[in-house]
A and B are shown apart, each in its own frame.
Chain A
Amino acid sequence: MKNLKTVVLSNQEISPGYYRMRILAPDYTRLAKAGQFIMFRVQRSLLPLLRRPFGIFRTGFMPADCETMPPKEFIEIIYKVVGGGTEIMRELHHGDSVEILGPLGNGFEFGEPGEEKVLVGGGIGLVPLYMLAEKLVEESRVRLYMGGRTRDDIITVTEFERLGVRTHVSTEDGSVGDTGLVTVGLEKKLQEGGKMTVYACGPMPMIEAVEKICRRYGVPLQVSLEALMACGVGACLGCVVKGAGHSDSTPSYLCTCKVGPVFDAKKLDWGNSPEQSVGNCGGCQ
């Protein structure tokens, strides 16, 4: 965990409205765990003032500029342009100065080796699942259910396939894959039975639906949540979600940045629709 003043290596549109940014990040291949995030800052600007949280898509090495230098270590983030902050990010180029704070948060638990792993991603929610898949394919069969509104929201699926993940794509408008919600395929899969663990990240209505299905079939579930956050280090208390057993008389608020962003679904309160703006990441501002 540290604040790194660094530079953008590349920043490209990979699907209409979705960008992939590669950032020079020494030590991240060693430090970053699947499911962790960074707080990203366009250097020294007051607009936007606050950093934005972004899940780490992957880490890696690329060749240095000349042969005598060591390879460059990088992270990649993927973001959707939705407002002021991400509109500025879209304009960044190779060599532009940025600051990243991280890696932050807890990351996924990998479950039992051998059992099947089922990933469920909705749109930009796919991002933290890639590093998880990289890890899980070493010891388990991995399936990905990827959903979006249109084909534009279906990103990086071929990269999951290259890892050996079986992928199932669905879109609400039917422009690619099955027509309908991503949860339809998931439910069919869970009906088949067998020992498995489900991992989900996406908009809150999707996560709630996945939770209901997993609970019905008694399948363990880990969810990665997004939340509005100012600091990312557990100080502002802006990003809290309700923990299991929360009530007005015995309130339980957990920091998404510190206790999460990955939660065992059993540790959260699903009783009434959470009012937190999960699924409404900082990038939406």
Chain B
Amino acid sequence: MIKRKDKIIRPKMEVEIAGIKLRNPIMPASGTFGYGEEFAPYLDLNSLGAIVTKGLSLNAKAGNRTPRICETVSGMLNAIGLQNVGVDVFIKHKMPFLEQFDTPVIVNFFGNTQDEYAEVAARLDGVPGVAALEMNISCPNVKHGGIVFGTDPKAIHEVVSQVRKKTSKPLIVKLTPNVTDIQVTARAAEEAGADALSLINTLTGMAVDVKTRKPRLANTIGGLSGPAIRPVAVRLVHQVVQAVSVPVIGMGGITRAVDALEFLIVGAKAVQVGTANFVDPTAMSTILDELEEFCLTEGIEDINDIIGSLVV
């Protein structure tokens, strides 16, 4: 413990990403925190670094057939299908709840076409209380044979550039890990005007019920999340930090402060907690307590001293 004049000095936890000041580097991952209100009974939303909403599209989206989730070893597969209320309903009915809190709101969004992405970004641009936009580019481009935007550097450049023109808010681009070279896609997003990058989105996966011989998800393929993916995520964050100069938000299987610290040490400025929110709605508050305790016992006065401190 750091003691000065018999007073315990609490470690400084504030970080800054793309001009947004966060009181600490812990925030939820999109799609695991609803629109915030679901977790308010369990967690003080004012204790978080930021709130990240479920992904929004231009129109409401119903999502996939069930089963939509299944548990795998130390993780889970999901194919929810981006069910959401749509951007207009969000602005009208969900945003007022979030505005009560003194915590930056990062709104995640996606589209099926470049124009849809641009339109959603435009509608969010004028909304006070939205601190930043997080753009999910792991969606298929319906106008180009369903190829996922985020796997093609050219498509990333085009769609991010177009969104960039529509918003003055800080723009975070969320990268997919399902690529051969993430440094290439990360650079494409940075060059197109991303203010920050977040990663990783889920790894695509599949599980089979051996008795019925059916896929365990109605959608056959889903996204793998949870502790099982953490080493892959840490590696990818490490590689992206080397490749770009914009700040990086790391995520993938964080359930404890030690997990979050891995991402911070390889250079992430903040982290998102995802699947752990499902396991325990109070997970982020536990992680915050543990993180502060780690800093105290290790004699770290400012969390920024940990960021990018990897010893190689």
Contacts and interface: CB of A to CB of B under 8 A. Distances in A.
Contact of A2 (B42, B73, B83): B42
B227 to A, nearest CB: 6
A239 B76 CA distance: 14
Using C-beta atoms within 8 Å of the partner chain, give the interface range for chain A: 20 to 34
B207 to A, nearest CB: 11
Interface string A246-285: 0000011100001000000000000000011100000001
Given A231-B277, A236-B32, A49 B67 contact: no
A214 B2 CA distance: 69
B63 A50 contact: no
Which of B68, B80, B280 has the most chain A CB atoms closer than 10 A to its own CB?
B68
Interface in A197-254: 227-231, 233-241, 251-253
A258 B34 CA distance: 12
Nearest to B73: A47
* Interface class of chain B by DSSP: loop
* Interface class of chain A by DSSP: loop
B44 to A, nearest CB: 13
B119 to A, nearest CB: 21
A99 interface: yes
Interface string B259-292: 0000000000000000101111110000000000
A276 B65 CA distance: 7
Contacts of A184: none
Contact of B68 (A101, A235, A238, A252): A238
Using C-beta atoms within 8 Å of the partner chain, give the interface range for chain B: 20 to 34
A46 B255 CA distance: 10
Contact of B71 (A3, A275, A285): A285
Nearest to B33: A235
16 contacts: A46-B255, A49-B279, A51-B279, A99-B280, A231-B277, A231-B281, A233-B34, A235-B33, A237-B80, A238-B68, A238-B69, A240-B63, A240-B66, A241-B66, A275-B218, A276-B66
Interface of B: 32-34, 38-39, 41-42, 62-63, 65-71, 73-76, 78, 80, 83, 218, 226-227, 255, 275, 277-282
